[in-house]
Amino acid sequence: MQTQLFIDGRFVPALSGATLATLNPHDNSEIAQVSMAGREDVDRAVAAAKKAFPAWSAMAAADRGRLLLKLADAIEANADALARLESLDTGHPIRDTRNLDVPRTAATFRYFGGMADKVEGSVIPVEAGFLNYLTREPVGVVGQVVPWNFPLMFTSWKMAPALAAGNCVVMKPAELTPLSSLAIAALMAEVGFPAGVVNVLPGLGHVAGQYIAEHPEISKVAFTGSTAVGRKIVQASSGNLKKVQLELGGKGANIVYGDANLDAVVQGSAFGIFHNQGQACIAASRLIVHESIADDLLERFTSLARSIRIGDPLDPSTEMGPLTSQMHRDRVLSYVDVAREQGGRVLAGGKAPDAAALAKGCYVEPTIVQAKPTDRVAQEEVFGPFVTVSTFRTDEEALAIANGTEYGLGAGLWTRDLQRAHLVARQLRSGMVWINCYKRVSPASPFGGVGASGYGREMGFEVMREYTQPKSVWVNVDANIPPYYPR
């Protein structure tokens, strides 16, 4: 297990010697003390990245791609250890880290390994006598700040496209969950990434994170996290006007029309909100149900929620683990009181589980709350296994509820009516829409939001635009055209 900063190809302690404990959310025991980067460590990492940039960006794109492919293989070869580490540090059930997080991490590095040599330019039709072509160049040293909810997967989402495009990276994992990104750094060193190309700096948000956003020699900052911190990142980035990409919070609408296949709805909606204990920006946190089927659906949905097996994340039979920290668990549970104060009715959960074996951990039962669409619990991101339910009568009403928050990240709808499905997909104010499914993601499909959910896109070719800048080159190809304006 690596616990030090990864700078210039080596694991080193923070210059100040500072460390912070990372805890196992199953019982709040200490897993390890991890080095905490200060501003001076960010400077060291930026200097290493700057030094590595000329050679890395000039390397044949296919060779950069080959390293990413080798990394994907190394991740698969170490899948069990990585899954265990991620479960230990985050509380995700091992069956999810082994079957989803680790394979998706490898798949993302592999996808962008293949992408590296496919970032083509173009030729622009301009007036006769001139050739105008467009190339896409890497941005330089990029800073990346990620949250604690999917630390392993987000390491790949952030690093893979940046590296494929020829940038060098200074990345800060969340203070709660630094271990898996350090493990990825170790594998990168093993498969032969040049020193300085990637630097990983566990550290506090308002110290190392803030300084990454401010740093005058970082050309772009890519951030995934809360909307509140996203705003701070934008302000901090203004000094050198760095490029900013923001993947922020969400309040996913999940609309169920009267003609939907309810078996699929129940399964898909449970996955949408309870997977990863609801700690997902794209969680299906608002169930919006047509009144004609509400009773039937809620009976099935609450009974499924009550049957979810909660337990130690390292137990392969566990379906739901603890939240990632005690503080976050308390915050999620506080929303049960917020709901009740505004007249909300708890239909399932709403408390920590009774089992003595889970008493020391950060557990919350799957929670379903009937609430008005304007209530705080239906407007604010709870970021836990907490879903609100409201009903609608007309399609217009459903759309107004769905579009009625400041967020616009992911939204889902369930119907057998093809025309309605595509019409509503067009009308939803949301970066992603799932029809008769929820929370599907792929390295090939653009991911991101609108409004308070941020701007810019991860994944697919779209993210290569984020990590490159276009350069337009004009060439005079006709000797008869004078190199000045005729007078």
Query: Does the protein bind ligand NAD through residue 247 (CB under 6 A)?
Result: yes
Question: Pick the catalytic residue: 86, 175, 214, 247?
Answer: 247
Return d(Cα 217, Cα 43) in angstroms, integer. 9
247 is catalytic: yes
| Binding piece for ligand NAD, criterion CB under 6 A, among 56-64, 117-125, 202-210, 358-366 | 202-210
| Binding piece for ligand NAD, criterion CB under 6 A, among 59-67, 419-427, 447-455, 465-473 | 447-455
Instruction: State the distance between the two ends of the chain, measured CA to CA, in whole angstroms.
Output: 72
Which residue bears the tokens 């009976």?
299
Question: Pick the catalytic residue: 86, 175, 214, 281?
Answer: 281
| Binding piece for ligand NAD, criterion CB under 6 A, among 19-27, 229-237, 348-356, 367-375 | 229-237
User: Of 15, 16, 150, which is closest to residue 91 (Cα–Cα)?
Assistant: 150
User: Of 379, 196, 354, which is closest to residue 286 (Cα–Cα)?
Assistant: 379
Query: Does the protein bind ligand NAD through residue 101 (CB under 6 A)?
Result: no
Nearest distance in Å: CB 405, ligand NAD:
13
Instruction: State whether the Cα torsion 351-355-356-362 is positive or negative.
Output: negative
Query: Does the protein bind ligand NAD through residue 93 (CB under 6 A)?
Result: no
Specify whether the CB–CB gap between 449 and 408 falls below 8 A: yes
| Binding piece for ligand NAD, criterion CB under 6 A, among 1-9, 136-144, 221-229, 475-483 | 221-229
Binding to ligand NAD (CB under 6 A) within 413-432 occurs at none
Query: Does the protein bind ligand NAD through residue 225 (CB under 6 A)?
Result: yes
Nearest distance in Å: CB 171, ligand NAD:
10
Query: Does the protein bind ligand NAD through residue 172 (CB under 6 A)?
Result: yes
Burial class (CB in 10 A: 0-12, 13-18, 19+), 2: buried
- φ/ψ region of 469 (left if φ > 0, alpha if ψ in -120 to 50, else beta) reads beta
Read off the DSSP letter of residue 477.
-
Return d(Cα 378, Cα 376) in angstroms, integer. 5
Binding to ligand NAD (CB under 6 A) within 281-310 occurs at 281
- For the beta carbon of residue 303, count every other beta carbon within 10 angstroms: 11
Which C-beta is closer to ligand NAD: that of 174 or that of 183?
Answer: 174
Specify whether the CB–CB gap between 212 and 186 falls below 8 A: no
Which residues form the interface with ligand NAD (CB under 6 A)? 145-149, 172, 174-175, 205-206, 209-210, 213, 224-226, 229, 232-233, 247-250, 281, 381, 383, 409, 449, 453-454
Report, as residue numbers or ranges, the catalytic residues. Answer: 247, 281
